[in-house]
Copies of this chain bind each other. A is one copy, B any other.
Amino acid sequence: MGRKRLHESTDGRPTVHTVAARAGVSIASASRVLNGIGGSEETIRKVRAAAAEVGYVPNAIARSLQSQRTGLVALAVEDIGNPVYVSMMRAIEAVVAASGRQLLVHATGGQIANETSLLRRLANRYVDGMIVSPIRVTDDHLAAVVQSPVPVVVVGQLGADAPVDNVRTDSRQGVALAVDHLVATGRRRIGFVNGPLDTVPGAARDAGFRSALAGHGIVLDERLVEVGDFQYSAGRAAAERLLARARPDALVCANDLIAVGALHALLAAGRRVPEDVAVVGMDDTELAQMMFPQLSSVSLGSAERGRRAAELLLQRIADPALPPRREQVPPSLAVRASSGAAVPTPRPRTEEVPS
């Protein structure tokens, strides 16, 4: 009686039951045909026809519940407007796509609540695995990562010995590369425009800057240090504040967006780059090459870190029992016009121009 109405809802979308009924076979046979395994010619024909007639499209959620996988992988980053994450994403995408999965990206906007909620939501089986690149880390956050039901790989620094797959770089050393280069080219009043100190990269870069200066025996003038956030306009504002009270002969910037902001601030203040002030950015994004003058920038290997993170993730999905691994990608410095000794500003040298 009531039993009979089970899968005959007139309004809803067709299910495998609908198809099976229409084809006059069992749902098992229908499912098998639709998945291309087995079935006599006659059955195959009938099921295919029935499916086409009713416009059957399988429900991926139900399939995933059964198969315990979704074929989806997620990447959570702060700010997708930052080109460093774009290159990281492209690298991840390539690896993930090669494994037949699809990559989804979520921008958390730097709100930690947002990121943990994402972890709690997506990681609860909507995706087969997840790569997160947090810039702030709290205990709550770390707990969410560790407890996640699906594999999670972290790009960036995490608690010292959290049992989590982790790909990092040494951004302290990265800042040191920039400082060394500037000192070697004769700069002494080196300023620093950083992101927030309560972020992991912000803190690391601050420490790196101080220790690098100390390594050269330079006493840091605190007026040469300013903090904004990791965006263009805040970077510009921070640089303007700095320039209003001090006269640096070089600026190290905590990422390329800040560096572009600093470039604007400098030119608006009538300082020439690099003649009066050298500028070095960080992350070595596409943006660095798009600017005038082209920006020197410290590469933190974002594409490489993304690639490795994706590989770690796929390995762990294949074998969840693996021990936690940690990989490190070394920074390197790309010297371009913005920190060249006496390169004329507006005309980049041809060999530095991307082809």
Residues of A within 8 A of B (CB): 13, 55, 57-62, 64-65, 70-72, 74, 80-81, 83, 86, 89-90, 93, 102-107, 109, 117-118, 120-122, 124-126, 147, 149, 232-233, 236-237, 260, 263-264, 267-268, 270, 286-287, 290-292, 345-348, 350, 353-355
Which one of A55, A70, A105, A350 has the greatest number of beta carbons of chain B within 10 Å?
A105
Q: How far is the CA of A340 from the CA of B107 in the complex (A)?
A: 36
Residue of B nearest to A345 (CB): B346
A64 to B59, CA, bound (A): 11
10 A-B pairs closest in CB distance: A60-B124, A104-B104, A105-B105, A81-B86, A61-B125, A292-B292, A61-B65, A59-B125, A61-B64, A260-B290
Minimum CB distance partner of A68 in chain B: B61
In the bound complex, do residue A233 and residue B147 qualify as a contact, i.e. CB atoms below 8 Å apart?
no
A347 CA to B232 CA, complexed, in Å:
18
Asked whether, in the complex, the Cβ of A121 is within 8 Å of the Cβ of B60, the reply is yes
Q: Which of B58, B147, B292 contacts A124 (CB 8 A)?
A: B58
Report how far A103 CA is from B121 CA in the complex, Å.
12
A193 to B324, CA, bound (A): 50
Nearest-CB residue, chain B, relative to A260:
B290
Residues of B within 8 A of A105 (CB): 80, 104-107
CA gap between A319 and B149 in the complex, in Å:
34
Contact B348 A268 (CB under 8 A): yes
Q: Which residues of the partner chain B approach A121 to less than 8 Å between Cβ atoms? A: 60, 71, 102
| Chain B residues within an 8 Å CB radius of A74 | 104
Separation of A125 and B354 alpha carbons in the complex (Å): 43
Instruction: Please measure, in the bound complex, the distance between the C-alpha atom of A140 and the C-alpha atom of B100, giving whole angstroms.
Output: 21
List of B residues within 8 angstroms of A120 by Cβ: 57
Chain B residues with CB below 8 A from A267, complex form: 292, 346-348
Task: Beyond the given A59-B124, A80-B105, please list 16 additional residue pairs across the A-B interface where CB-CB is below 8 A.
Answer: A59-B125, A60-B126, A61-B65, A61-B70, A62-B65, A81-B86, A102-B117, A103-B106, A104-B104, A104-B105, A104-B106, A105-B107, A264-B348, A267-B292, A270-B347, A287-B290
